[in-house]
A and B are shown apart, each in its own frame.
Chain A
Amino acid sequence: GAGVSQSPRYKVAKRGQDVALRCDPISGHVSLFWYQQALGQGPEFLTYFQNEAQLDKSGLPSDRFFAERPEGSVSTLKIQRTQQEDSAVYLCASSLARLFGETQYFGPGTRLLVL
């Protein structure tokens, strides 16, 4: 049984470079979440998709961050003109629904280092 997968696992970018991070959720999961985990911190919510619709992007830190899920399965988080403060682990999670009490299953994350 496949869980949530993310790629790449590690990404080193030069400041100002654009990056794209991919998430493959569990098949059939309607809900998809992106979280950002800075060093020594807990994960923080970035954005939420229900199928292909981005219903909540309240956690995106700036307009350099953009996420999409065009066919309601795979999702891509894109960061334009990366800055050093973007260095973090980016976690993707999926669940059957966006209901409180519904378990979210996390991928292994993409560790982004911006030099």
Chain B
Amino acid sequence: DQQVKQNSPSLSVQEGRISILNCDYTNSMFDYFLWYKKYPAEGPTFLISISSIKDKNEDGRFTVFLNKSAKHLSLHIVPSQPGDSAVYFCALQTNYGGSQGNLIFGKGTKLSVKP
């Protein structure tokens, strides 16, 4: 069963508007939450992260929100730009056990920002 779910395979947004990408997880043992961005034929690149002790982290146009009780993570991009068009993966890490540090990814959401 999937531990990390990104239920929207794709999202289309007008330039200048807000993009909201969502991610749900099942295991409360996760401690660290990340968003990676991937362009075609390139590897994922780190975008922004948040630890389980926070509920919001902001970096320029990008803000990540964490709702631990709902096991829900979201990424807000404001304002959206055409260069933001990419696949966005949420990834989770745990600080426990033999899997410490390994990234567990969702399936990704393809964001298209239209001019």
Whether A and B are associated in the same complex: the answer reads yes
Q: Is B49 an interface residue (CB 8 A)?
A: yes
Consensus secondary structure, chain A interface: loop
Within B7-47, the residues touching A (CB, 8 Å) are 31-32, 36, 41-46
Q: Which residue on chain A has the smallest CB distance to residue B45? A: A106
Q: A42-B107, A108-B42 in contact; A101/B51 too (CB < 8 A)?
A: yes
- Find out whether the CB atom of B106 lies under 8 angstroms from the CB atom of A42: yes
Query: For residue A31, which residues in chain B have a CB less than 8 angstroms away from its CB?
Result: 101
- Find out whether the CB atom of B45 lies under 8 angstroms from the CB atom of A98: no
Q: Which residue on chain A has the smallest CB distance to residue B9? A: A40
Query: Considering only CB atoms and an 8 Å cut-off, how many residues of chain B contact the other chain?
Result: 29
Within A2-51, the residues touching B (CB, 8 Å) are 4, 31, 33, 35, 40-45, 48
> Chain B 47-83, CB within 8 Å of chain A: the 1/0 string?
0010100000000000000000000000000000000
A19 to B42, CA, bound (A): 21
Query: For residue B100, which residues in chain A have a CB less than 8 angstroms away from its CB?
Result: 98-100
A108 to B107, CA, bound (A): 18
Query: Considering only CB atoms and an 8 Å cut-off, how many residues of chain A contact the other chain?
Result: 30
A101 to B4, CA, bound (A): 18
Contact of A100 among B6, B41, B93, B106 (CB under 8 A): B93
- Find out whether the CB atom of A100 lies under 8 angstroms from the CB atom of B101: yes
Contact of A56 among B32, B41, B46, B99 (CB under 8 A): B99
Interchain nearest-CB distance for A2 vs B (Å): 14
Interface residues of B (CB under 8 A from A): 4, 6, 31-32, 36, 41-46, 49, 51, 89, 91, 93-95, 98-108
Interface residues of A (CB under 8 A from B): 4, 31, 33, 35, 40-45, 48, 56, 58-59, 91, 93, 95, 97-109
Can you list the 4 inter-chain pairs with the closest CB atoms, starting with the nearest?
Answer: A42-B105, A106-B43, A98-B101, A100-B93
